[in-house]
Structure 1
């Protein structure tokens, strides 16, 4: 673990993206980048691997579809079959056109709600948790790149001054309990 980190603050997202690419090309470790809005291409520039969130969403949707089919089959066919509009409920397949809206809605419901829960758990966003943002300006209009220092402080400061950073400062990293 690094004993110090450097905070480089930028006022433009394109300048930040170019700076991230230069810092990564120089083989420095970028600990985190704080932005007020998503920056297209930043995840690849920082070196973050693609997530498996789409697979999780698909599985959650399948779970919702399964719950819908089992629930409707039990309620409408097994437990209390009814003769609605002269159409008896003998099998699930005969009544499937009437069940399609319910299957769709529960698929979307499960996928949406379980994705939100997964996002909160994966991001470790708990109720009443304190923010880990090192500079409040990054919630408004500034961008901050946090770089670990491993003894090459002067070279890194020189590199960051060439990337058009509006501010560069060396700070001690905060010990935040998760």
Structure 2
């Protein structure tokens, strides 16, 4: 089902932030905002919920730490114990200071790689995906805000014009 949206194009991020606050204060729904670079505070101005990305990163780090401990315990203690530099080879705990760099690196490795995979899956990005950007200027120096309309098109158009939009377009969003 297609819905009607108004695309307001801005050429300054400060003007965009002010416009977002005015549109939200007027209780209109902002579908999406396209920017050429991250705009600090835009998520809070739009009223978006905080992400749980830090929690998933921590959990992925714990997975990496668990894999590192299991791997080192099996390889260096159970499977093929060796006397390296006079260190005892019968206890993981006694050898742990030598294993700290490996544990750290595996924690970072798992957290980083699994976060990239999670980001791509969550954002629905994959190779050869067609771009969903409605205006190519938003990859260079313009900002685009899509506001949904349902019978109040003139009111929204006048509000967006007052906020400093340099261009307004009405289109169907699928």
Q: Normalised by the shorter chain, which TM-score bucket? A: over 0.9
2:45 aligns to what SS in structure 1?
helix
Q: Give the whole-Å Cα distance in 1 for the aligned partners of 2:11 and 2:86.
A: 69
Q: Give the whole-Å Cα distance in 1 for the aligned partners of 2:9 and 2:87.
A: 68
Q: Residue 149 in 1 paired to residue 163 in 2? A: no
Q: Find the counterpart in structure 1 of residue 4 from structure 2.
A: 4
Q: Residue 127 in 1 paired to residue 131 in 2? A: no
Work out the number of aligned pairs and report it: 174
Deviations 1:24-58 (CA, angstroms, capped at 9, x unpaired): 11010000000000001100111110010000000
Q: Find the counterpart in structure 1 of residue 70 from structure 2.
A: 70
Residue pair 1:2, 1:150 contacting (<8 A) in 2 also:
no
* Distance apart, 1:171 and its partner CA: 1.2
After TM superposition, the structure 1 = structure 2 runs for residues 44-59 of structure 1, keeping only pairs within 5 Å, are: 44-59=44-59
2:109 aligns to what SS in structure 1?
helix
Residue pair 2:5, 2:149 contacting (<8 A) in 1 also:
yes
- Structure 1 unmatched runs, 5+: none
Q: Residue 109 in 1 paired to residue 109 in 2? A: yes
After TM superposition, the structure 1 = structure 2 runs for residues 11-90 of structure 1, keeping only pairs within 5 Å, are: 11-90=11-90
- Structure 2 unmatched runs, 5+: none
Structure-2-length-normalised TM-score: 0.98
Residue pair 1:2, 1:148 contacting (<8 A) in 2 also:
no
